[in-house]
Structure 1
Protein backbone atom coordinates (compact mmCIF):
# COMPACT_ATOMS: atom_id res chain seq x y z
CA UNK A 1 0.00 0.00 0.00
CA UNK A 2 1.27 3.49 -0.86
CA UNK A 3 -0.03 6.65 0.79
CA UNK A 4 0.87 10.17 -0.27
CA UNK A 5 2.61 12.24 2.40
CA UNK A 6 2.75 15.44 0.36
CA UNK A 7 4.27 16.63 -2.90
CA UNK A 8 6.99 14.22 -3.97
CA UNK A 9 6.68 12.08 -0.82
CA UNK A 10 4.90 8.80 -0.17
CA UNK A 11 4.88 6.04 2.41
CA UNK A 12 5.13 2.44 1.27
CA UNK A 13 3.69 -0.23 3.56
CA UNK A 14 4.84 -3.78 2.80
CA UNK A 15 4.10 -7.04 4.57
CA UNK A 16 7.12 -8.96 5.87
CA UNK A 17 7.49 -12.31 7.57
CA UNK A 18 10.13 -13.97 9.72
CA UNK A 19 11.37 -17.43 8.80
CA UNK A 20 14.49 -19.53 9.10
CA UNK A 21 17.38 -18.41 6.91
CA UNK A 22 18.49 -21.08 4.44
CA UNK A 23 21.66 -21.60 2.40
CA UNK A 24 19.77 -20.64 -0.78
CA UNK A 25 19.24 -17.16 0.77
CA UNK A 26 22.94 -16.37 1.10
CA UNK A 27 23.46 -14.83 -2.37
CA UNK A 28 20.65 -12.36 -1.59
CA UNK A 29 22.35 -11.41 1.71
CA UNK A 30 25.51 -9.90 0.23
CA UNK A 31 24.44 -6.55 1.75
CA UNK A 32 25.00 -8.01 5.25
CA UNK A 33 28.77 -8.32 5.01
CA UNK A 34 31.78 -9.58 3.14
CA UNK A 35 32.19 -12.94 1.46
CA UNK A 36 34.02 -14.10 4.62
CA UNK A 37 31.01 -13.06 6.71
CA UNK A 38 28.66 -15.00 4.45
CA UNK A 39 30.90 -18.07 4.73
CA UNK A 40 30.60 -17.73 8.53
CA UNK A 41 26.79 -17.48 8.24
CA UNK A 42 26.85 -20.60 6.07
CA UNK A 43 28.76 -22.43 8.84
CA UNK A 44 26.17 -21.26 11.36
CA UNK A 45 23.40 -22.70 9.17
CA UNK A 46 25.08 -26.10 9.56
CA UNK A 47 24.91 -25.59 13.34
CA UNK A 48 21.22 -24.72 12.91
CA UNK A 49 20.54 -28.16 11.44
CA UNK A 50 22.04 -29.60 14.64
CA UNK A 51 19.77 -27.43 16.81
CA UNK A 52 22.63 -25.43 18.33
CA UNK A 53 21.47 -22.12 16.83
CA UNK A 54 18.54 -20.54 15.06
CA UNK A 55 19.27 -18.21 12.17
CA UNK A 56 16.35 -16.01 11.17
CA UNK A 57 15.46 -13.87 8.18
CA UNK A 58 12.90 -11.09 7.84
CA UNK A 59 11.66 -11.41 4.25
CA UNK A 60 9.72 -9.27 1.80
CA UNK A 61 6.60 -10.47 -0.02
CA UNK A 62 8.88 -11.86 -2.77
CA UNK A 63 10.79 -13.80 -0.08
CA UNK A 64 14.02 -11.76 -0.15
CA UNK A 65 15.81 -11.38 3.20
CA UNK A 66 16.08 -7.75 4.35
CA UNK A 67 17.18 -8.48 7.94
CA UNK A 68 19.02 -11.47 9.37
CA UNK A 69 20.36 -12.61 12.69
CA UNK A 70 21.05 -15.58 14.88
CA UNK A 71 20.47 -17.03 18.31
CA UNK A 72 23.21 -19.20 19.79
CA UNK A 73 22.00 -21.62 22.47
CA UNK A 74 25.48 -22.82 23.42
CA UNK A 75 27.19 -19.50 24.22
CA UNK A 76 25.69 -18.96 27.71
CA UNK A 77 24.01 -21.55 29.89
CA UNK A 78 20.32 -20.86 30.46
CA UNK A 79 20.17 -18.14 27.79
CA UNK A 80 19.91 -17.60 24.09
CA UNK A 81 22.59 -15.25 22.79
CA UNK A 82 21.41 -13.02 19.96
CA UNK A 83 24.16 -12.19 17.49
CA UNK A 84 25.09 -11.26 13.93
CA UNK A 85 22.09 -8.95 13.49
CA UNK A 86 22.00 -7.03 10.23
CA UNK A 87 19.34 -4.98 8.44
CA UNK A 88 19.54 -3.93 4.80
CA UNK A 89 20.97 -0.37 5.12
CA UNK A 90 18.21 1.27 3.06
CA UNK A 91 15.60 -0.20 5.42
CA UNK A 92 17.22 0.59 8.77
CA UNK A 93 15.04 2.46 11.28
CA UNK A 94 11.86 0.94 9.79
CA UNK A 95 11.20 -1.53 12.61
CA UNK A 96 12.79 -4.59 11.00
CA UNK A 97 15.45 -4.92 13.71
CA UNK A 98 12.76 -4.79 16.39
CA UNK A 99 10.77 -7.47 14.57
CA UNK A 100 13.87 -9.65 14.23
CA UNK A 101 14.80 -9.32 17.91
CA UNK A 102 11.25 -10.09 19.05
CA UNK A 103 11.21 -13.20 16.83
CA UNK A 104 14.56 -14.27 18.31
CA UNK A 105 13.19 -13.77 21.82
CA UNK A 106 10.18 -15.95 20.94
CA UNK A 107 12.55 -18.70 19.75
CA UNK A 108 14.54 -18.45 22.99
CA UNK A 109 11.41 -18.60 25.15
CA UNK A 110 10.10 -21.46 23.01
CA UNK A 111 13.12 -23.50 24.11
CA UNK A 112 12.20 -22.91 27.74
CA UNK A 113 15.01 -20.42 28.36
CA UNK A 114 14.25 -17.38 30.49
CA UNK A 115 16.92 -14.96 29.31
CA UNK A 116 18.21 -13.36 26.12
CA UNK A 117 21.71 -11.95 25.96
CA UNK A 118 23.65 -9.92 23.40
CA UNK A 119 26.74 -7.79 23.02
CA UNK A 120 26.82 -4.40 21.35
CA UNK A 121 29.92 -2.45 20.37
CA UNK A 122 30.48 0.55 22.61
CA UNK A 123 30.74 2.80 19.56
CA UNK A 124 27.27 1.78 18.27
CA UNK A 125 24.88 3.99 20.28
CA UNK A 126 21.96 3.52 17.85
CA UNK A 127 21.96 -0.24 18.33
CA UNK A 128 22.37 0.10 22.10
CA UNK A 129 19.42 2.52 22.23
CA UNK A 130 17.29 -0.02 20.34
CA UNK A 131 18.22 -2.80 22.75
CA UNK A 132 17.52 -0.59 25.78
CA UNK A 133 14.14 0.40 24.30
CA UNK A 134 13.37 -3.33 23.98
CA UNK A 135 14.18 -3.91 27.66
CA UNK A 136 17.83 -5.02 27.58
CA UNK A 137 20.00 -3.94 30.52
CA UNK A 138 23.79 -3.59 30.50
CA UNK A 139 25.59 -5.86 32.96
CA UNK A 140 29.23 -5.69 31.90
CA UNK A 141 31.84 -5.13 29.23
CA UNK A 142 34.04 -7.51 27.28
CA UNK A 143 36.51 -7.31 24.41
CA UNK A 144 35.58 -9.05 21.17
CA UNK A 145 37.40 -9.67 17.90
CA UNK A 146 36.79 -11.25 14.54
CA UNK A 147 38.38 -11.49 11.13
CA UNK A 148 37.27 -8.97 8.50
CA UNK A 149 37.81 -9.32 4.78
CA UNK A 150 38.95 -6.22 2.94
CA UNK A 151 37.84 -5.27 -0.59
CA UNK A 152 41.07 -6.76 -1.96
CA UNK A 153 40.41 -10.10 -0.23
CA UNK A 154 42.95 -9.52 2.53
CA UNK A 155 41.96 -10.55 6.04
CA UNK A 156 42.65 -8.44 9.12
CA UNK A 157 41.65 -8.79 12.77
CA UNK A 158 39.02 -6.33 14.01
CA UNK A 159 39.09 -5.72 17.77
CA UNK A 160 36.46 -3.86 19.75
CA UNK A 161 34.97 -3.44 23.21
CA UNK A 162 31.36 -4.49 23.74
CA UNK A 163 28.68 -3.76 26.30
CA UNK A 164 27.06 -7.00 27.48
CA UNK A 165 23.27 -6.77 27.78
CA UNK A 166 20.53 -9.13 28.91
CA UNK A 167 16.78 -9.31 29.20
CA UNK A 168 14.62 -11.62 31.26
CA UNK A 169 11.93 -13.14 29.06
Structure 2
Protein backbone atom coordinates (compact mmCIF):
# COMPACT_ATOMS: atom_id res chain seq x y z
CA UNK A 1 0.00 0.00 0.00
CA UNK A 2 1.49 3.38 -0.95
CA UNK A 3 2.07 5.92 1.81
CA UNK A 4 0.44 9.29 2.14
CA UNK A 5 2.52 12.40 2.77
CA UNK A 6 1.00 15.06 4.96
CA UNK A 7 2.62 18.38 5.83
CA UNK A 8 2.93 18.86 9.57
CA UNK A 9 3.66 22.01 11.52
CA UNK A 10 4.54 22.58 15.15
CA UNK A 11 3.03 25.46 17.07
CA UNK A 12 2.09 26.38 20.62
CA UNK A 13 -0.85 24.46 21.99
CA UNK A 14 -3.84 26.75 22.59
CA UNK A 15 -6.65 26.41 25.13
CA UNK A 16 -9.12 26.10 22.25
CA UNK A 17 -7.25 22.96 21.10
CA UNK A 18 -8.15 21.02 24.23
CA UNK A 19 -11.61 20.05 22.99
CA UNK A 20 -9.87 18.20 20.11
CA UNK A 21 -7.32 16.47 22.36
CA UNK A 22 -9.56 13.96 24.12
CA UNK A 23 -7.48 11.24 22.41
CA UNK A 24 -4.54 12.30 24.63
CA UNK A 25 -6.09 11.33 27.96
CA UNK A 26 -8.93 11.66 30.40
CA UNK A 27 -10.74 14.79 31.51
CA UNK A 28 -8.36 14.95 34.49
CA UNK A 29 -5.38 14.90 32.11
CA UNK A 30 -6.87 17.69 30.00
CA UNK A 31 -7.48 19.75 33.15
CA UNK A 32 -3.77 19.40 33.93
CA UNK A 33 -2.84 20.41 30.39
CA UNK A 34 -5.06 23.50 30.73
CA UNK A 35 -3.15 24.37 33.92
CA UNK A 36 0.15 23.98 32.06
CA UNK A 37 -1.09 26.35 29.36
CA UNK A 38 -1.50 28.95 32.11
CA UNK A 39 2.13 28.32 33.11
CA UNK A 40 3.12 28.71 29.44
CA UNK A 41 1.77 32.27 29.55
CA UNK A 42 4.37 33.03 32.23
CA UNK A 43 7.22 31.41 30.29
CA UNK A 44 7.71 28.57 32.79
CA UNK A 45 6.88 25.99 30.12
CA UNK A 46 6.37 25.58 26.41
CA UNK A 47 3.48 23.35 25.38
CA UNK A 48 3.58 22.29 21.76
CA UNK A 49 1.15 20.84 19.23
CA UNK A 50 1.96 19.02 16.00
CA UNK A 51 -0.76 19.66 13.44
CA UNK A 52 -1.62 18.63 9.88
CA UNK A 53 -3.22 21.21 7.53
CA UNK A 54 -6.50 20.93 9.49
CA UNK A 55 -4.59 22.67 12.35
CA UNK A 56 -6.00 20.11 14.82
CA UNK A 57 -3.34 18.62 17.12
CA UNK A 58 -2.23 15.05 16.43
CA UNK A 59 0.59 15.18 18.99
CA UNK A 60 1.20 17.31 22.05
CA UNK A 61 3.86 17.70 24.69
CA UNK A 62 5.57 20.10 27.00
CA UNK A 63 8.93 21.43 28.05
CA UNK A 64 9.22 22.53 31.66
CA UNK A 65 12.04 24.98 32.44
CA UNK A 66 11.61 24.87 36.23
CA UNK A 67 12.17 21.16 36.98
CA UNK A 68 15.92 20.89 36.40
CA UNK A 69 18.20 23.95 36.46
CA UNK A 70 20.04 24.43 33.19
CA UNK A 71 17.81 22.04 31.23
CA UNK A 72 14.43 21.78 29.60
CA UNK A 73 12.45 18.79 30.87
CA UNK A 74 10.21 17.13 28.29
CA UNK A 75 6.97 15.67 29.62
CA UNK A 76 3.43 14.70 28.69
CA UNK A 77 4.58 13.72 25.19
CA UNK A 78 1.88 11.86 23.29
CA UNK A 79 0.88 11.14 19.71
CA UNK A 80 -2.62 10.22 18.58
CA UNK A 81 -2.78 6.41 18.88
CA UNK A 82 -3.75 5.94 15.22
CA UNK A 83 -0.67 7.89 14.08
CA UNK A 84 2.09 6.38 16.21
CA UNK A 85 5.25 5.08 14.51
CA UNK A 86 4.94 7.65 11.72
CA UNK A 87 7.73 9.97 12.89
CA UNK A 88 5.41 12.47 14.55
CA UNK A 89 6.86 11.90 18.02
CA UNK A 90 10.35 12.51 16.67
CA UNK A 91 9.18 15.76 15.10
CA UNK A 92 7.62 16.85 18.40
CA UNK A 93 10.78 16.07 20.36
CA UNK A 94 13.04 17.88 17.89
CA UNK A 95 10.79 20.95 18.05
CA UNK A 96 10.92 20.83 21.86
CA UNK A 97 14.72 20.59 21.73
CA UNK A 98 14.79 23.67 19.48
CA UNK A 99 12.75 25.56 22.06
CA UNK A 100 15.23 24.52 24.75
CA UNK A 101 18.27 25.71 22.77
CA UNK A 102 16.48 28.95 21.87
CA UNK A 103 16.46 29.68 25.62
CA UNK A 104 20.23 29.22 25.74
CA UNK A 105 20.08 25.86 27.52
CA UNK A 106 22.32 23.00 26.47
CA UNK A 107 20.48 19.85 27.51
CA UNK A 108 17.11 18.16 27.50
CA UNK A 109 15.92 15.75 30.17
CA UNK A 110 12.95 13.43 30.49
CA UNK A 111 11.62 10.50 32.44
CA UNK A 112 10.17 7.39 30.84
CA UNK A 113 8.39 4.59 32.62
CA UNK A 114 10.51 1.45 32.80
CA UNK A 115 7.51 -0.53 31.55
CA UNK A 116 7.41 1.54 28.32
CA UNK A 117 10.27 0.12 26.22
CA UNK A 118 8.82 1.48 22.98
CA UNK A 119 9.06 5.08 24.17
CA UNK A 120 12.49 4.48 25.65
CA UNK A 121 13.72 3.06 22.33
CA UNK A 122 12.51 6.24 20.58
CA UNK A 123 14.36 8.45 23.05
CA UNK A 124 17.53 6.39 22.69
CA UNK A 125 17.31 6.63 18.88
CA UNK A 126 17.11 10.40 19.29
CA UNK A 127 20.27 10.48 21.42
CA UNK A 128 18.96 10.32 24.99
CA UNK A 129 20.89 8.24 27.52
CA UNK A 130 19.71 6.98 30.88
CA UNK A 131 21.62 8.17 33.93
CA UNK A 132 19.34 7.11 36.75
CA UNK A 133 15.99 5.80 37.83
CA UNK A 134 13.44 7.11 40.29
CA UNK A 135 9.94 6.41 41.51
CA UNK A 136 7.16 8.61 40.23
CA UNK A 137 3.43 8.86 40.91
CA UNK A 138 0.43 10.85 39.80
CA UNK A 139 -3.34 10.74 40.02
CA UNK A 140 -5.15 9.01 37.18
CA UNK A 141 -8.78 8.87 36.23
CA UNK A 142 -10.26 5.44 35.49
CA UNK A 143 -12.80 5.01 32.66
CA UNK A 144 -15.61 5.15 35.22
CA UNK A 145 -14.34 8.49 36.60
CA UNK A 146 -12.63 7.29 39.78
CA UNK A 147 -9.41 9.10 40.68
CA UNK A 148 -6.66 6.76 41.85
CA UNK A 149 -2.94 7.07 42.53
CA UNK A 150 -0.67 5.51 39.90
CA UNK A 151 2.85 4.60 41.00
CA UNK A 152 5.70 3.60 38.72
CA UNK A 153 9.47 3.67 38.29
CA UNK A 154 11.04 5.79 35.57
CA UNK A 155 14.38 5.87 33.83
CA UNK A 156 15.77 9.40 33.91
CA UNK A 157 17.34 10.34 30.58
CA UNK A 158 19.22 13.30 29.18
CA UNK A 159 20.61 14.55 25.91
CA UNK A 160 23.21 17.26 25.40
CA UNK A 161 22.04 19.82 22.84
CA UNK A 162 24.29 21.79 20.47
TM-score (norm 2): 0.98
Corresponding position of 1:45: 37
Match of 1:132 in 2: 124
2:54 paired residue number:
62
**Displacement, 1:12?**
1.1
Alignment of 1:134-149 (within 5 A): 134-149=126-141
3-state SS of the aligned residue for 1:65?
coil
Residue of structure 1 in register with 2:18 after alignment: 26
Q: Matched residues in 1 for 2:110 and 2:48: separation? A: 15
2:145 aligned partner: 153
Residue matched to 1:4 = none
Q: 1:112 aligns with which of 104, 120, 126?
A: 104
**Superposed displacement of residue 152, structure 1:** 1.5
Report how many residues are paired: 161
- Deviation for aligned residue 1:32: 0.3
Note the alpha carbon deviations across 1:57-113, whole angstroms, 9 max, x for none.
000101010000000000000000000000000000000000000000000000000
1:71-86 to 2 correspondences below 5 Å: 71-86=63-78
Deviation at 1:10, TM superposition (A): 3.0
The alpha carbon displacement at 1:153 in A equals: 1.1
Deviation (angstroms), 1:38: 0.2
Note the residue ranges of structure 2 that are not aligned, 5 or more in a row: none
**Structure with more strand by fraction:** 1
Q: Secondary structure of 1:128's partner?
A: helix
Gaps of 5+ in 1: 1-8
